[in-house]
Amino acid sequence: MSEGHARAFSRRISRTDSARVASSNCLLRETAYDRAMQDRQDHFAYCVQLLGGTTAFARRLRIDERAIRRFVNGERPISDGLLQDTAQALRDLATDANAAAGTISDNLPAQSSDT
C-alpha cells in the first residue's frame, strides 16, 4: 500500500470511528432523556394514585379521565403546568387531610393514664 493510500485509509477509519462515537453519545443522551421521561411518567402515575386514582384525580383537576390515562401510559407528554397543578392538588389534599385528622383528634375522648 502506498503512503497516499495509507493516509486516505487512515482518514476513512478515523471518520468512521468519529461517527461511531458521535452516534453512541447521541444514544446515551437519548437514553438519559428517555429515562428522565419515564421517571416523570412513573412519578406522575404515583401522584395520580395518591390523589385517589384516575377518576378522583380527573375530578379534582377537572381533566378528562382518558387524558389522564394517556399521560400515565406515556401516550401524551406531561407538561410542567400539569405537574404544577398536580403538586398544588397534593398540597391541598395534605391540608384537608391534616384538618380532618385534627378534627378527629379533637373529638376523641381523652385517654386516662390508668389503661
Does residue 115 form part of some domain? no
Least confident stretch, 7-16, 50-59, 79-88, 104-113: 7-16
Q: Is 85 helix (H, G, I), strand (E, B) or coil?
A: helix
Ordered alpha helix ranges (H), 51-64: 54-61
- What digits encode the pLDDT tens for the residues 43-77? 999 999 999 999 999 999 999 999 999 999 999 99
Does residue 52 form part of some domain? yes
| Residues 83/89, Cβ–Cβ less than 8 Å | no
| Residues 9/1, Cβ–Cβ less than 8 Å | yes
Does residue 7 form part of some domain? yes
Question: Cα–Cα distance between 115 and 106 in angstroms, integer?
Answer: 20
Does residue 21 form part of some domain? yes
Q: With CA atoms as reference, report the closest residue to 89 among 43, 40, 56.
A: 56
Does residue 106 form part of some domain? no
Does residue 113 form part of some domain? no
> What is the phi/psi pair of residue 53, to 5°?
100, 180
For all residues of the chain together, what is the average pLDDT? 82
Q: Global pTM?
A: 0.65
Does residue 109 form part of some domain? no
Q: Where in the sequence is the domain holding 11, given as residue range(s)?
A: 3-99
Domains identified in the chain, total number? 1
Does residue 114 form part of some domain? no
9 pLDDT band, cuts 50/70/90, is very low
